[in-house]
Structure 1
Amino acid sequence: MYTVVILPKAKDDIRQAALWYNEKQPGLGKRFVFQIRQKVEHIRQHPMAFSKRYEDVRLAVMNIFPFTIHYSVDDRVKTVLIIAVMHTSRDPKNWDRRIKE
């Protein structure tokens, strides 16, 4: 089984989106976070299930909310690194700045 590490910027992505959803409808942010957790658990159990989109970064599309989870896999240490959680309207190439920061 793989270990999941979520970068602080990705945690901030999730937090900001949840706050925004809660402003639109109370409780919707909680539902968003729940859906993120479910998708991350799926990634943890099946890290190769999603194809590589950029170099070694894979992209998992959320089922309900218009967000994508950008992550990389290190098979040597059985770790999944969540790099970004981005709205689909944003330029997905912005994830690469996360690696350099």
Structure 2
Amino acid sequence: MYEIIILLRADLEVNKTAEYYESLSNGLGTKFFNEYQEYIETLKTFPFFEEKYDTVRTLPLKKFPYTIHFTVDENKKIVSVQAVISNYQDPNITRLKL
């Protein structure tokens, strides 16, 4: 089992996105947050998804156009969630620098 650490940037992005979806439709923000939480739970047991940028791995949400960007420290059994990014953002602007 891996420990999950969510960086402030990712936490703020998730909250902002949930608020945005909630402003569009009552309950939609909660659905976004719940899907995100399900994927975070998945990372606790299986964090080896696509390696995108050097050490950064990605896991796209299924129902919403967002992708979780994270790193894995196999020795310490830690998954660090770096960002939750809209799939419509320019990847050259939002690319993570670690």
The TM tier, using the shorter chain, reads: over 0.9
Q: Secondary structure at the match of 1:89?
A: coil
Offset of residue 59 of structure 1: 0.6
Cα separation, 1, equivalents of 2:40 and 2:90: 21
Q: Secondary structure at the match of 1:53?
A: strand
Cα separation, 2, equivalents of 1:92 and 1:11: 19
Cα separation, 1, equivalents of 2:83 and 2:95: 6
Which residues of structure 1 form unaligned runs of 5+?
Answer: none
Partner deviation per Cα, 1:17-47 (whole Å, 9 max, x = no partner) = 0000010001110110000000111112101
Q: Secondary structure at the match of 2:15?
A: helix
Q: Secondary structure at the match of 1:36?
A: helix
Aligned residues: 97
Offset of residue 92 of structure 1: 3.1
* 1:84 match: 83
Q: Secondary structure at the match of 2:71?
A: strand
Alignment of 1:5-16 (within 5 A): 5-16=5-16
* 1:70 match: 69
RMSD over aligned CA atoms reads 1.1
Alignment of 1:1-101 (within 5 A): 1-48=1-48, 50-93=49-92, 94-97=94-97, 99=98
Q: Percent of aligned pairs with the same residue?
A: 31
Offset of residue 91 of structure 1: 2.3
Cα separation, 2, equivalents of 1:3 and 1:43: 9
Cα separation, 2, equivalents of 1:42 and 1:13: 19
Q: TM-score, normalised by structure 1?
A: 0.91
Which residues of structure 2 form unaligned runs of 5+?
Answer: none
